[in-house]
Chains A and B, each alone.
Chain A
Amino acid sequence: MNILNILEEIEKTDAEVYERISPRRKAMAQFYGFGKKVALASIPFALGTMFKKAYAQTASTEVEAVLQFALTLEYLEAEFYTKGVAAAGLVPAGAALGAITTIRDHENQHVAFLKTALMSLGKTPVSKPTFDFSAGNGSNTGPFANVFSNYDTFLAVAQTFEDTGVRAYKGQAPALIGSGGVLTAALNIHSVEARHAAHIRQMRKARGANIKPWITGQDTGIGAIVQASYAGEELEDQAGIKITGINGQMISASAATEAFDEPLTKAQILAIVDPFIV
């Protein structure tokens, strides 16, 4: 939790952040000094109190709803990778385990960040749901029942979580217009999920899956239960402009669909993750 980075990030989009926190800039100097003295673990609380004062009046219920929704998805990913890393013999040691561990850490950081953001707005973060990663709605005997014992199943589920996460954040961005630093933070998470997705896809490619780091058409092959995660990605038109063969360029239909990732609504995302949430 790098608190000074958070402040710097927010300052980029809200030059008055320090003024909001305190009408006098010198108050920030006090805070920087304060940060050095308190234990690292208590910084989120101090930060939360400070932000509550600064932003509480402007935080809309819409912004809160986006953050709670994002937190739920991050809980899902964080627990998934935590269990995956902990499952003996699942992820091969070396580069694979290194990559999955990196991703696990990011998802846990996203959980912590979103919780802090919500608390700083004076809101109570939603609790972590109970998950069923077999996609069995609590039966633990769903289509991915071997998710923590079969490496290929694990990677396939990881891919859908990442690609779905990208679509979820993308779909929520418009609801954050006017929220300043919250929108920027959401975008900064969004692109991290896309980086994860690209890497997981390359891991699956190395295991023989016919797949690229980007989404081609509807990208089938994982299973009907998650196919909704890819519905709509086959779009060849953007804002009424046909991308395939645009302006006489040799852009194939595949390239046209790969070049743009598509958003999903909150309702669509919740339907997709429903089998994974008890």
Chain B
Amino acid sequence: MENITKKDEQIILQKQDILSAPLQRRSFLRYAGAGAAGIALLAAGCKKDGMMIDDSAGVNLGSGDVGILNYAYALEQLEAAFYIKVASSFYSGITEAERSLLTDIRDHEIAHREFFKNALGSNAIPGLEVDFSMINFSSRDSVLGTAKAFEDLGVSAYNGAGVLIKDANYLTLAGKIVSVEARHAALIRDLISNGSFANSEVIDANGLDKSRLPMEVLGIAAPFIKTKINANDLPKS
């Protein structure tokens, strides 16, 4: 019921946006000067700034604990897609040990992704479209560098989401996953530079790991996810 209401609200908001759009567009064109190229540029600029785009557009993660689970599901989709690509054609010069470890991590991330999909059931967001055009999958440096960024980000995401979760069982589940992500992060870091498993890039002077709130995490992940994600309804505290 809640979902249907939410969708209805979105449709209404989008309709309102369509109604007000022509006026905005006209005033833009007034300043656009001449030439189709100028108009196209301006249109692109508008889109980037979200000036004519409704804030509620995109895949809505939902609210409450379901929203947080969908948020985790989105991140696990990203990680799983990455390691599937990595394992489908390993970088050149990979050792047997690295091949085995990265294959393990791929399987863990798929397990996480599928777990959230099933746990969420009809509340699950659809499959997200990823963008890995920035990654050179034949380069060890590029693959491990990206893996490190994703794993550290995942750890900080779960750490930051804990306080937003209301249900004790969901909090425990998030805890069961985050320590595995931390094991991944440590291993990947050690593959890049032995001994960097918990260095000062990630651990502060109190011996604490990082935590990030969803908006910050999604902002960092955004270049790798084509599908627009709407996290507006996630719990704020």
In this complex, how many residues of chain B approach chain A with their Cβ under 8 Å: the count is 55
Give the CA-CA distance A196 to B110 in the complex, in Å: 24
Which residues of chain A have C-beta atoms less than 8 A from B185's C-beta? 195
Q: Which of B18-26, B30-38, B159-167 contacts A (4 or more CB under 8 A)?
A: B159-167
Q: What residue of chain B has the Cβ atom nearest to residue A113's Cβ?
A: B206
Of the residues A109, A197, A243, contact of B207 by C-beta under 8 Å: A109
Which residues of chain A have C-beta atoms less than 8 A from B176's C-beta? 170, 238, 260-263
Q: What residue of chain B has the Cβ atom nearest to residue A201's Cβ?
A: B183
Q: Report whether B178 and A187 are in contact in the complex, using a CB–CB cutoff of 8 Å.
A: yes
Which residues of chain B have C-beta atoms less than 8 A from A169's C-beta? 175
If A170-B176, A241-B118, A261-B179 touch, whether A6 touches B104 (CB-CB below 8 Å) is no
Q: Which has the most chain A C-beta neighbours within 10 Å: B114, B165, B171, B207?
A: B207
CB A18 to nearest CB in B, in angstroms, measures 15
Give the CA-CA distance A206 to B121 in the complex, in Å: 42
Q: What residue of chain A has the Cβ atom nearest to residue B175's Cβ?
A: A170
Q: What residue of chain B has the Cβ atom nearest to residue A256's Cβ?
A: B111
CB A160 to nearest CB in B, in angstroms, measures 15
Q: Report whether B114 and A246 are in contact in the complex, using a CB–CB cutoff of 8 Å.
A: yes
Q: Report whether A191 and B206 are in contact in the complex, using a CB–CB cutoff of 8 Å.
A: no
Of the residues A105, A198, A252, contact of B182 by C-beta under 8 Å: A198
Q: Report whether B117 and A188 are in contact in the complex, using a CB–CB cutoff of 8 Å.
A: no
If A1-B205, A102-B199 touch, whether A166 touches B163 (CB-CB below 8 Å) is no
- 1/0 contact string of B92-117 vs chain A (CB within 8 Å): 00000000010010011011101101
Q: Report whether B198 and A214 are in contact in the complex, using a CB–CB cutoff of 8 Å.
A: no
If A190-B178, A194-B186, A260-B177 touch, whether A2 touches B162 (CB-CB below 8 Å) is no
Q: Which has the most chain A C-beta neighbours within 10 Å: B111, B160, B184, B199?
A: B111
Which residues of chain B have C-beta atoms less than 8 A from A108's C-beta? 207
In this complex, how many residues of chain A approach chain B with their Cβ under 8 Å: the count is 68
Q: What residue of chain B has the Cβ atom nearest to residue A6's Cβ?
A: B206
- 1/0 contact string of B183-196 vs chain A (CB within 8 Å): 11111001000110
Q: Report whether A261 and B108 are in contact in the complex, using a CB–CB cutoff of 8 Å.
A: no
Kindly identify, within residues 173 to 210 of chain A, every residue whose CB is under 8 Å from any CB belonging to chain B: 173-174, 177, 180-181, 183-185, 187-199, 202
Give the CA-CA distance A7 to B124 in the complex, in Å: 35
Q: Report whether B168 and A213 are in contact in the complex, using a CB–CB cutoff of 8 Å.
A: no
Q: Report whether B205 and A5 are in contact in the complex, using a CB–CB cutoff of 8 Å.
A: yes
- 1/0 contact string of B132-167 vs chain A (CB within 8 Å): 000000000000000000000001001110110110
Give the CA-CA distance A241 to B112 in the complex, in Å: 11
Which residues of chain B have C-beta atoms less than 8 A from A1's C-beta? 205-206
Give the CA-CA distance A34 to B209 in the complex, in Å: 27
Not counting A187-B158, A194-B183, A250-B107, a sample of 12 additional A-B residue pairs whose C-beta atoms are within 8 angstroms of each other reads A113-B208, A192-B203, A194-B180, A198-B186, A199-B197, A213-B101, A214-B104, A238-B115, A246-B115, A249-B110, A251-B110, A251-B111
